[in-house]
Amino acid sequence: MTETPVLQVDGLVKHYPVRGGLFGRAVAHVRAVDGISFAIAPGETLGLVGESGCGKSTVGKAILRLVEPTAGRVTLEGEDITALGRAAMIAKRRRMQVIFQDPYSSLNPRMTAGDIVQEPLVNFGIGTRAEQRERVDALFARVGLRPDQRRNYPHEFSGGQRQRLGIARALALGPSIIIGDEPVSALDVSVQAQVINLMVDLQEELKLSYLFVAHDLGVVEHISHRVAVMYLGKIVEIAPRAALFETPLHPYTEALLAAVPVAHPRLRRKRIVLKGDVPSPINPPPGCRFHTRCPIAVPLCREVEPPLIANAAGHAVACHLRSA
Amino acid sequence: MSTTILGASLAEQPRRRASLLRRMRRYPLPTIGALLLILLVASALGAPWIATHDPFEMNVVDRLQPPNADYWFGTDAYGRDMFSRTLHGGRVSLVIGIAVAVASTIIGLVIGVIAGYFRLADAILMRIMDGLMAIPGILLAIALMSLTRASVWVVVVAITIPEIPRVVRLVRAVVLTVREQIYIEAATAIGTGFPRLMLKHILPNTLAPLIVQATYIAASAVLVESYLSFLGVGTPPEVPSWGNIIAEGRLYVQIAFWNILFPSVFLGLMVLSINILGDGLRDMLDPRLARRL
């Protein structure tokens, strides 16, 4: 890649202290995100998948600094934002926006739809009140809401409409990248398609980049240019979409893909059933974190952690036995 | 949007802008409470014009008269008109009730928001509040009275201080709940600064429970003022208040029961009406309870 990436993440770590004992000292750490690196080019969508509790949402929040990362560096359009102060960070928020999973709780129930979409413009003092109102109307129209709905309150909208509101709010400041924290997981399937298509259209129109966090592989395959697979706070495989879905290398990715239901009554896929649960992120297994559930693990996997190694085509995998 | 005392509930269900009359018919009990309270407040505010006598004028000839055409509520041991004194006594109760409710709500709101939002401040402030809660209001009033001259404002301070921790706890609880809401995170993500976050996203949620709490505080302040006056550590004796009128009247209760009957009835009605109103507001502002009515 020759272009400067819109977003570059280097060795991002987020540990949550587990407090206990008499003085509330940190007795352990939940290693929600444990050293993650990737880059997103302008106009590109990176899908980030993994099962519940693997830390994928935390990645999004740490990049946005809605939670403070424990270590690592986030570079937005060539500028390191990890060390920015409060005011400087607020200024940077114009370039990086977020769409949340839950369209019910991510909108303030006491504000009208118009106020919700207008708020970012008010925060940054963009334009006069009248200009702001015009911009809100334009945003409403762009995401498929009627301008007269601006006076309605969130509870008067359906789930899909609320998510459109969330998208309009994210677009208001004209960001270069939007982080979608499972933006369609809470919607039913027909509405999911509409919202995703809207996101794809907007990407083409506005040259947006997306970090698309999700657990639904079908959705991720549809929207992403590249896909990263997370397991227990680490990326185990990252590759262009086609490569990942056609020739998955990591055994965990294989298992995930095998779990996707096939929309055909007689077609059967080879099932790979992982045994056991995800180990605790407080005390992750030594060596390769996946070795406790891996069908092909060898003794080496219990001791040495495999590095994430990429090939020329940009397909990277962290496994001792499989290489790209 | 209209900004009545019900502003919060209107914000919650903005589409149901029922007319006042419909609202009154839907919630009969709070309506009765509100009407009664308006009547009592009007009688206290209008005391100088409604009263038939000067509340301080002594007519020794007419002492301890039972209620009659001239002295509607009778007279006390100095021959002062009980009707006028009862109306004027309501002014003190009213001032104290409102002043305590407003002061403790505002102070409690500020402390509660800080405690709810900043972790470190929380630990310190809440321990101070626990300490304040441990002070009995009446002892505090006695201490303050012996340190300063008796005045209505010392009574206000003495009643306000023990009420503050209750408001703080309420506000803090609401702030703690709201700050974890995703829309607060969303507001941070779109660059909302701290002052606006507070005013637009967090404070509106505290409004409904706070209004309700304020009515209870007002009712309890009216009562506490009368305890304090009755004990002789409240409103100075030259200012008629329901508490000290009752205290003076109790000496003659066997021969002139009206000396304590009328101020007591007014006191009771005032507290009752505020409480009914507060209960009603709670039901109206809480959609889960509203169904029951």
With an 8 Å Cβ cutoff, are B15 and A90 in contact?
no
Q: Chain A contacts of B201, Cβ < 8 Å?
A: 108
Task: State yes or no: pLDDT of B52 exceeds 80.
Answer: yes
Nearest to B191 among A94, A102, A166 (CB): A94
The single-letter code of the amino acid at A111 is M
More confident residue, B155 or A117: A117
**B182–A106: do the CB atoms touch at under 8 Å?**
yes
Average pLDDT in the B25-54 region?
88
* CB nearest A93 (choices: B191, B196, B201): B191
Q: Which of B182, B192, B196 has the highest number of chain A CBs within 10 A, making it the mutation to test binding with A?
A: B182
Summarised one tens digit per residue, pLDDT across range A278-290 is 888 888 888 899 9
Binning pLDDT at 50, 70 and 90, where does residue B53 land?
confident
Examine the pLDDT at A199 and tell me if it is beyond 90: yes
Dihedral of alpha carbons B68, B73, B76, B79, sign? negative
Predicted local distance difference test score (pLDDT) of residue B286:
64
> In the predicted model, is pLDDT for residue B135 greater than 70?
yes
CB contact under 8 A, B191 and A120: yes
Residues in A whose CB is inside 8 Å of some CB of B read 61, 64, 66, 90-91, 93-94, 97-98, 100, 102, 105-111, 119-120, 123-124, 153, 156, 166, 169-170, 172-173
**Would you say B269 and B36 are in contact if contact means Cβ atoms under 8 Å apart?**
yes
**Which residues of chain A are within 8 Å of residue B10 when distances are taken between CB atoms?**
none
Average pLDDT over residues A146-155: 90
Percent of chain B beyond pLDDT 90? 31
Q: What is the pLDDT of residue B10?
A: 42
How close A148 gets to chain B, by Cα (Å)? 15
Interchain CB distance below 8 Å, A66 and B189: yes
3-class secondary structure for chain A? CCCCCCEEEEEEEEEEEEEECCCCEEEEEEEEEEEEEEEECCCCEEEEECCCCCCHHHHHHHHCCCCCCCEEEEEECCEECCCCCHHHHHHHCCCEEEECCCCCCCCCCCCCHHHHHHHHHHHCCCCCHHHHHHHHHHHHHHCCCCHHHHHCCHHHCCHHHHHHHHHHHHHCCCCCEEEEECCCCCCCHHHHHHHHHHHHHHHHHHCCEEEEEECCHHHHHHHCCEEEEEECCEEEEEEEHHHHHHCCCCHHHHHHHHCCCCCCCCCCCCCCCCCCCCCCCCCCCCCCCCCCCCCCCCHHHHHCCCCCEECCCCCEECCCCCCC
B186 and A100: CB-CB below 8 Å? yes
For chain B, list residues whose CB is within 8 angstroms of any CB belonging to chain A: 11-12, 14-15, 181-183, 185-193, 196, 200-201, 204-205
Please tell me the predicted confidence (pLDDT) of residue B17: 52
Q: Do A66 and B181 touch (CB under 8 A)?
A: no
The residue of chain B with its CA nearest to that of A124 is B191
Nearest neighbour of A123 by CB, restricted to B11, B182, B191: B191
Highest mean pLDDT range out of A206-210, B52-56, B209-213? A206-210
CA distance B7 to chain A (A): 11
- Across the A:B interface, residue pairs with CB atoms under 8 Å apart total 62
pLDDT of residue B29: 85
Q: Is the pLDDT of residue A1 over 80?
A: no
All structural domains of chain A: 7-95+175-317 (3.40.50.300)
How close A97 gets to chain B, by Cα (Å)? 7
- Condensed to tens digits (0 to 9), the pLDDT of residues B99-122 reads 999 999 999 999 999 999 888 899
Q: What is the dihedral of CA B244, B250, B255, B258, to 10 degrees?
A: 50
Choice among A274-278, B3-7, B67-71 with the minimum mean pLDDT: B3-7
Chain B contacts of A120, Cβ < 8 Å?
190-191
Cβ separation A90–B191 shorter than 8 A: yes
Name the residue with tokens 């690196």.
Answer: A37
Can you give the pLDDT at residue B288? 52
Which among B182, B190, B201 is the nearest to A105, CB-wise? Answer: B182
> What is the nearest CA distance from B125 to chain A, expressed in angstroms?
18
- Dig out the tokens for A289 from the structure: 């974190």
Looking at the structure, give the CATH architecture of the domain made up of residues B35-59+67-290: Orthogonal Bundle (1.10)
Q: In angstroms, what separates the C-alpha of A57 from chain B's closest C-alpha?
A: 13
Give me the residue spans of the domains in chain B.
35-59+67-290
A274, A293 contact by CB (below 8 A): yes
Residue of A266, A238, A270 whose CA lies nearest to A257: A270
Which pLDDT does position B13 carry in this prediction? 47
pLDDT of A188 > 90? The answer is: no
Helix axes B203-231, B152-179, angle to 10 degrees: 150
Write down the pLDDT at residue A323: 79
Reported as a single tens digit per residue, the pLDDT across A109-141 is: 888 999 999 999 999 999 899 999 999 999 999
Q: How far is A173 from chain B (nearest CA, A)?
A: 8
Shortest alpha-carbon distance between residue A142 and chain B (Å): 19
Q: Which among A90, A94, A166 is the nearest to B193, CB-wise?
A: A90
Neighbour tally for A254: CB within 10 Å: 18
- How confident is the model over B85-95, as pLDDT tens digits? 999 999 988 89
- For an interface test with B, give the residue of A57, A63, A110 to mutate (most B CBs within 10 A): A110
Instruction: Please check the confidence at residue A2 and state whether its pLDDT lies above 80.
Output: no
Most confident of A140-144, B74-78, B190-194: A140-144
Nearest-CA distance from B194 to chain A in Å?
A: 10
Instruction: Give B126's strand partners.
Output: none
CB-based contact A93 B204, cutoff 8 Å: no
Percent of chain A clearing pLDDT 90 (strictly above): 61
Of residues A296 and A263, more confidence is placed in A296
Mean pLDDT within A300-307: 91
* Largest separation between any pair of C-alpha atoms in chain B: 78
Using one digit for the tens of pLDDT, what is the confidence trace for A36-75?
999 999 999 999 998 888 888 899 999 999 999 999 999 9
Q: Would you call B186 and A98 a contact, using CB atoms and an 8 Å cutoff?
A: yes
* Position A253 confidence tier, pLDDT thresholds 50, 70, 90: very high
Contact B192 A123 (CB under 8 A): yes
Partners of A66 on chain B (C-beta within 8 Å) are: 185, 188-189
User: Which residues in A lie closer than 8 A to residue B190 (C-beta atoms)?
Assistant: 93, 97, 119-120, 123, 169-170, 172-173
Q: Provide the pairing of β-strand A71-76 with A45-49.
A: unpaired
More confident residue, B149 or A30: A30
Q: What rounded mean pLDDT belongs to chain A?
A: 90
Average pLDDT over residues A200-218: 93
Q: Which residue of B has its CA nearest to A121?
A: B190
- Give the per-residue SS3 of chain B: CCCCCCHHHHHHCCCCCCCHHHHHHHCHHHHHHHHHHHHHHHHHHCHHHHCCCCCCCCCHHHCCCCCCCCCCCCECCCCCEHHHHHHHHHHHHHHHHHHHHHHHHHHHHHHHHHHHHCHHHHHHHHHHHHHHHCCCHHHHHHHHHHHCCCCHHHHHHHHHHHHHHHHHHHHHHHHHHHHCCHHHHHHHHCCCCHHHHHHHHHHHHHHHHHHHHHHHHHHHHHHHHHHHHHHCCCCCCCCCCHHHHHHHHHHHCCCCCHHHHHHHHHHHHHHHHHHHHHHHHHHHHCHHHHCCC
Distance from CA of A232 to the nearest CA of B (A): 24
pLDDT at residue number B261: 92
Position B8 scores a pLDDT of 44
